[in-house]
Amino acid sequence: MAPALSKSHQPVWFLVGLIWTVGLLLSCIYETRQPSTDVFLFKEAGVKFATAGRLEASHLTHMGFGESRPYAYYPPLYPTLFGLWTKIAGVGLKQSIIFDALLRLLRTLSLLALLYPVWRKRIREPNMVLAAAVFVLCFSLVSSDGDRPDDLAAIFGLTSLLALRRERLFLAALLLGLAGATSPAGGVFFAFAGSLNLLYYRRYLPLVGLGAGAVLVFALCNLPVFLSDPQAFLRFSKQAGISNFPYKVSSAAVFLQSFGAALKHSWSAGWPYVICAGLLGGLSLRYRSTNLGWVRWASWLFLGANLVVWTLQPYYLWFSILGFTFFLLSEVPKRSAAALVSISLAFLPLLFREAKGQLSAFQRTPKQSASYVAKTVLERIGPEKSLAVGSDQYFTFRAQREVANVNYVCPYIEKFDFVYVTPKSSRRDRKEIAPFPCETSRACFEVVADLTPAPVFKVFGMKTPYFVRGNGGLLYENVPCRPANFAGRRF
């Protein structure tokens, strides 16, 4: 029997699969993964593709009110694939959660396929199996933010490296081009990894073939977007320029100040990811192998690039994961305790974040459910009125109507009839000002429905006020301006 199928280790992998499946089911039933802001950037075009047959975007920050243009925020592969999934599964948060989970699973399996030659001779060793199982479970459960194309790009990128290692240059170029057509950043970094592989072994002609083939595939994937709108690249540049990273600065001092502010923002937005990738990436630098020395160089590249990439987006965990997993799965028999401790420390913040979502959902009241909120709000606003919402409420209403991201449409928020947003805290005794996200000078909105009856979130009887667990929020209606709409209004 093959080592990977050893009967003595089958219960371990069965348990990993069972925990993963139960976690996915709980996330779907209780809808514990709320959509992020990126749902409007990447998945909305896919939903429109599924429901209207057009891969278009609207209500983005550089667009006018009511404007709809061919999708050009990112390459089109991810929204197209999500659109095909939506065509089959339907529009909804549960369907989106399953889609994200399947991508994480495929990404994990792709990584393991790439690593198999390193650890196949040691798969019978108990410490090796335990460490690999813990890593696989953590990596497939919590190591991405969702609503973004990065996991799909990682699948293409990892399988491209696998094909390259097996000397299937055509397939490697195809998959690398698809990675770039999913996420430009992902395509660039996996291209660096593949190039380091070929340069390490002094294979210069295949390097040219890999680059040429990947560029051709990338161009062909983006050609339909360019043909439908010659200004697509300009719109992509304009949207991509809305970033935390200080692209345009007047001096080195200003750059350093802006860069520090960007890092601070990224830390507050995704510190569990920063800790996880930092620990794992640091360990990857210790990896030594005469047969896979290029991996060590790629690890240095990925870890160093994270410092810059996180100023754009703090969820690129997989940039520093490749080298670490080689280190882990080849060195565990020698340092099993250290490896397990490292995995636990790295993933603990992410696991804690996931656990809070699960525990919080168990305390959700019926009036906090998305179905109750959708029914109540839609009865109030009617079928013809326009609605702007926070990103977490996207799937609450999207199956019934189109919605806009309230944070994107603030410059013309007065053109919307209603706005629905949820508070940033579930703590009712905080007496927060109603969380209208746009400046009051833009329009006058009055609260016409308060759907936030939630008591505080508790863990083992202790109050934990820093997590919103429900869908309840405040419904604002666009009304004639009255100062009383804003002064001293608290809930």
Residue 182 pLDDT exceeds 90? yes
Q: Are residues 349 and 275 in contact, defined by beta-carbon separation less than 8 angstroms?
A: yes
Residues of the chain above pLDDT 70, percent: 70
d(CA 485, CA 413): 16
Residues 6+ apart with CB under 8 A from 278: 306, 320
pLDDT of residue 406: 92
116-128 pLDDT, tens digit each:
776 676 667 777 7
pLDDT of residue 489: 44
pLDDT of residue 31: 84
pLDDT of residue 202: 82
pLDDT of residue 312: 45
> What is the DSSP pairing of strand 387-389 with strand 404-405?
parallel
pLDDT of residue 246: 54
Task: Place 311 in a pLDDT band, splitting at 50, 70 and 90.
Answer: very low
pLDDT of residue 243: 58
Average pLDDT, the chain: 78
pLDDT of residue 490: 40
User: What's 480's DSSP letter?
Assistant: S
Instruction: Kindly state the helix (H) or strand (E) to which residue 378 belongs, with its residue range.
Output: helix 370-381
pLDDT of residue 200: 76
Residue 239 pLDDT exceeds 80? no
Task: Place 271 in a pLDDT band, splitting at 50, 70 and 90.
Answer: confident
Instruction: Supply φ then ψ for residue 474, to 5 degrees.
Output: -115, 130
pLDDT of residue 358: 74
Task: Place 155 in a pLDDT band, splitting at 50, 70 and 90.
Answer: very high
pLDDT of residue 212: 94
d(CA 40, CA 30): 22
Average pLDDT score over residue span 293-320: 55
457-467 pLDDT, tens digit each:
777 777 765 55
Residue 442 pLDDT exceeds 60? no
326 or 79: which leads in pLDDT: 79
pLDDT of residue 190: 85
Q: Are residues 370 and 93 in contact, defined by beta-carbon separation less than 8 angstroms?
A: yes
pLDDT of residue 386: 93
Average pLDDT score over residue span 240-244: 60
Average pLDDT score over residue span 412-435: 70
Q: Are residues 317 and 305 in contact, defined by beta-carbon separation less than 8 angstroms?
A: no
pLDDT of residue 454: 57
Average pLDDT score over residue span 133-154: 82
187, burial (CB in 10 Å: exposed 0-12, middle 13-18, buried 19+):
buried
Which range (94-108, 314-328, 409-423) has the least confidence?
314-328
Instruction: Supply φ then ψ for residue 117, to 5 degrees.
Output: -60, -25
pLDDT of residue 179: 94
Average pLDDT score over residue span 164-184: 92
213-235 pLDDT, tens digit each:
999 999 999 888 888 888 777 77
pLDDT of residue 376: 93
User: What's 433's DSSP letter?
Assistant: B
pLDDT of residue 174: 96
Task: Place 294 in a pLDDT band, splitting at 50, 70 and 90.
Answer: low
d(CA 442, CA 412): 7
Average pLDDT score over residue span 234-256: 66
Residue 88 pLDDT exceeds 80? yes
Residue 166 pLDDT exceeds 70? yes
pLDDT of residue 211: 92
Residue 289, helix vs strand vs coil? coil
Residue 130 pLDDT exceeds 50? yes
Average pLDDT score over residue span 327-340: 62
328 or 371: which leads in pLDDT: 371
